[in-house]
Chain A
Amino acid sequence: MARIDLVDLAHSYGGNDAAPESFALKPISMTWRQGGAYALLGPSGCGKTTLLNLISGIVTPSRGKILFDRADITPLSTQKRNIAQVFQFPVIYDTMTVGQNLAFPLRNRGVPKAEVNARVKQIADLLDLTPHLNRKATRLTADAKQKISLGRGLVRSDVAAVLFDEPLTVIDPELKWQLRSKLKALHRDLDLTMIYVTHDQTEALTFADTVVVMHDGRVVQSGTPAELFDKPEHTFVGYFIGSPGMNIVPAEVRGREARISGHPIVLNRSYDVLPSGAKIEVGVRPEFVDVAPPAPGLLSANIERIDDLGRVRFARVRIGDAKFAARVPPGFSIPGDTAGLVFDPSHVHVYADSRLVEGTA
């Protein structure tokens, strides 16, 4: 168990001399709390797997250091790092039974037989694998195999952190929920640091206390699911998280007023000093904009279609050229092609060059 610190960590597959912009992982410094449940969330190719492989030691960083409990482990091999990793596809030793699979890491480290058996029994109980202990591991289902991969990490009592690399990719949808709840339960019971890589926001938001959103080799925001939802620090977080994503439209902002296509919107905070020359945008989640009958005081929009998600309906509209989504209040019927939009001022954010600007009260 350990606290993990990344110090100016960066990696390029092209070597250290490559142009900074081509780095798969741009320099980052951050701390992973001991016992935290983290999700690394981002689209394919954003550098999240690279970051994971750097922590586990499969990849050696081009720059920077990794500290486990303040000790520099950057030059150490994967074996010596006490890391457990679960891969996208289950890794099972074909010729072995479930029990032998679980015992493998301990036997490799020369742990006495009695202790191996005790640990294997304990972990099998924890993962509900006890009934399968003497079966060939290859005959089990994909989710059981993933549990075995996880179990091989957990049997070691000295494990510093468990890393998951999109572990639910090959699992049936209905089993995904079960396995994810199992992971959450394990996290509570074992007090282990867990880092979970995924591109699925539901997986990330339900698994983690802290979600780290990555984009183009950078960490753009790390926070609780609520923080990511309520206050995205980057427009990317805004539209990547949430379904549908955040509306982001160009606007002119002066003081407590934003103008979208010339129409004024009231803001909750005052934005007097905005970086000059920056691209100013306003972001608001569809959940905080309601569709209303057209009225002179409201920003008017052309309705393109209504998405009925069952529990809630969203109107896809257009303001000038900009696409926009807004909630359709329950019982509201659309009068025609145009509608007015009612904004909730406390949830309208201002972005300069894609980064959140904090206004003054």
Chain B
Amino acid sequence: MDKTINQKAWFLVLPVFLVVAFSAILPLMTVVNYSMQDTFGNNQFFWNGVGWFKELLDPSTDLGGRFLDSLGRNLFFSIVILAIEVPLGIVVALSMPREGWTVAACLVILALPLLIPWNVVGTIWQIFGRPDIGLLGYTLNGLGINYNYVSNEFDAWATVIVMDVWHWTSLVALLCYAGLKSIPDAYYQAAQIDGASRWAVFTAIQLPKMNRVLLIAVLLRFMDSFMIYTEPFVVTGGGPGNSTTFVSIELVKIALGQFDLGKAAALSLVYNLIILIVCWVFYTVMTNAGAERPAKQGVA
């Protein structure tokens, strides 16, 4: 078959290309440029090659130590909140009503935390947790529990994790609820006829049918928690000490606090690369899981 060759299409792509070039490619290239150089201000740059990257991956240097510590903290944080939010989101979705006016009420209540801006969430919890005037902090101390997120590492971590769970479990729950709603009634009726227990219905029908949305939920929550900045910055400011300093907080400190553009650029490139790789792995897993299904489906 002869295809009509028409180069005019390039002109149609051109505006998008220009927008992307100015908004993404040029800034990214600037960062790549910075990451290879050092500056002492005055817009004077000195070539440093891969020096910053070497330092970044070497725990014995100051930069490497700070990066790898915060990376470890960040991974731990992501794993903890995934381990809490995903099961909790599923439970919430399963216990939501299926029809009637209560559905709308539940959806609105669940959506509320998602609609609050990050720094407002941070401020809410910062005040909520204060031992002198915050409802949570005051009550806990009143109950004899010595709670102070400013001075105690464990308390700071607990506050940040509970805050993230409060903020984002709704997202997992809403995604799961959408997955659950798409299961036709016939499945439940068949399971009833097959004498399936509640647990068997969950493992044989609901969980497999939620498979795809769960993968999306995990991906979104991982990326978001891995890039978390605003809420812990507002609540704990990364403290006490460095105990809740996550990668993005460290990055801002280096870039804007110390004005070490080269170090910060190298860090943000590696940080970006980690997120890209994780996304790619997830994407591959997701498309493979999907491709298995319609492989040999004649009619459906």
| Interface residues of A, Cβ cutoff 8 Å to B | 56, 58, 77-79, 83-85, 87-89, 91, 93-96, 104-105, 108-109, 136, 138-143, 149, 152-153, 170-172
**A-side contacts of B258, CB under 8 Å:** none
Q: Are A93 and B189 in contact (CB under 8 A)?
A: no
| B95 proximal to A (CB < 8 A) | no
* 8 A-B pairs with the lowest CB-CB distances in the bound complex, closest first: A141-B298, A105-B194, A91-B190, A94-B208, A87-B186, A108-B195, A142-B299, A93-B204
Q: Given A87-B186, A170-B300, decide whether A93 and B205 contact each other with a Cβ distance below 8 A.
A: yes
CB neighbours of A56 from chain B (8 A): 189, 193
19 further interface pairs, Cβ-Cβ under 8 Å (given A95-B203, A104-B200): A56-B189, A56-B193, A58-B192, A85-B190, A85-B193, A87-B186, A87-B190, A88-B186, A93-B205, A93-B208, A95-B208, A104-B204, A108-B200, A139-B292, A141-B296, A141-B299, A149-B190, A153-B193, A171-B299
Q: Is B209 in contact with chain A by the CB < 8 A criterion? A: yes
In the complex, what residues of B have CB within 8 A of residue A170's CB?
Answer: 299-300
Residues of A within 8 A of B200 (CB): 104, 108
Contact between B197 and A108, CB atoms less than 8 A apart: yes
Question: Which residue, of B192, B193, B205, has the highest number of chain A Cβ atoms within 10 A?
Answer: B193
Assembly CA distance A166 to B197 (angstroms): 27
| Cα–Cα, bound, A87→B193 (Å) | 11
Asked if B293 is at the interface of the complex by the 8 Å CB criterion, the answer is: yes
Of B193, B197, B203, the contact of A78 (CB 8 Å cutoff): B193
Quick check: is B295 within 8 A (CB to CB) of the other chain?
yes
Which A residues lie within 8 Å of B292 (CB)?
A: 136, 138-139
CB-CB < 8 A to B190: which residues of A? Answer: 85, 87, 91, 149, 152
Which residue of A91, A152, A171 is within 8 Å of B187 (Cβ)? A91
* Across-interface contacts of B300 in A (CB, < 8 A): 142, 170
**Option from B187, B195, B208, B296 in Cβ contact (under 8 Å) with A79:** B195
Using CB atoms, name the residue of chain B closest to A90.
B300
Give the distance in Å from the alpha carbon of A79 to the alpha carbon of B193 in the complex: 5
B15 within 8 A of A: no
Asked if A83 and B193 sit within 8 Å, CB to CB, the answer is: yes
Counting chain B CB atoms within 10 Å of each CB, the highest count among A83, A87, A149 belongs to A87
B184 at the interface (CB under 8 A from A): yes
**In the complex, per-residue mask of B168-196: 1 if CB is within 8 Å of any chain A CB, else 0:** 00000000000000001011011011111
Q: B43 at interface (Cβ–Cβ under 8 A)?
A: no
**Which chain A residues border B203 with CB–CB below 8 Å?**
95
Known contacts A95-B204, A139-B295, A141-B297; is A104 also within 8 Å of B196 by CB?
yes
Task: Please indicate the chain A residues that have their CB under 8 angstroms from the CB of B209 in the complex.
Answer: 94
Q: Do B189 and A78 have beta carbons less than 8 Å apart? A: yes
Supply 20 A–B pairs (Cβ within 8 Å), ascending by A: A58-B189, A58-B192, A77-B192, A79-B195, A87-B189, A89-B184, A91-B187, A93-B208, A95-B208, A104-B194, A105-B195, A108-B196, A108-B197, A139-B292, A139-B293, A139-B296, A141-B298, A142-B297, A142-B299, A172-B298
Contact of B296 among A84, A89, A140 (CB under 8 A): A140
> Which residues of chain B have C-beta atoms less than 8 A from A172's C-beta?
298-299
| A197: min CB distance to chain B, Å | 13
From residue 253 to 298 of chain B, which have CB atoms closer than 8 A to chain A? 292-293, 295-298
User: Which A residues are in CB contact (< 8 Å) with B187?
Assistant: 91
Kindly list chain A residues whose C-beta atoms are within 8 Å of the C-beta of B194: 104-105, 108, 152
Residue of A at shortest CB range from B194? Answer: A105
Shortest B53–chain A CB gap in Å is: 44
Shortest A49–chain B CB gap in Å is: 11
Chain B, Cβ-Cβ closest to A59: B189
Chain A: which residue is nearest B299 at the CB level? Answer: A142
Nearest A residue to B293, CB-CB: A138
| A136 surroundings in chain B (CB, below 8 A) | 292
**Set of chain B residues within 8 Å of A93, measured between Cβ atoms:** 204-205, 208
- Within the complex, the shortest CB–CB distance from A71 to chain B, in Å, comes to 19
A143 to chain B, nearest CB (A): 8
CB distance from A164 to the nearest CB of B (A): 13
Q: Which residues of B contact A143 (CB under 8 A)?
A: 299
Q: What's the Cα separation between A208 and B297 when bound, in Å?
A: 30
Kindly list chain B residues whose C-beta atoms are within 8 Å of the C-beta of A91.
186-187, 190
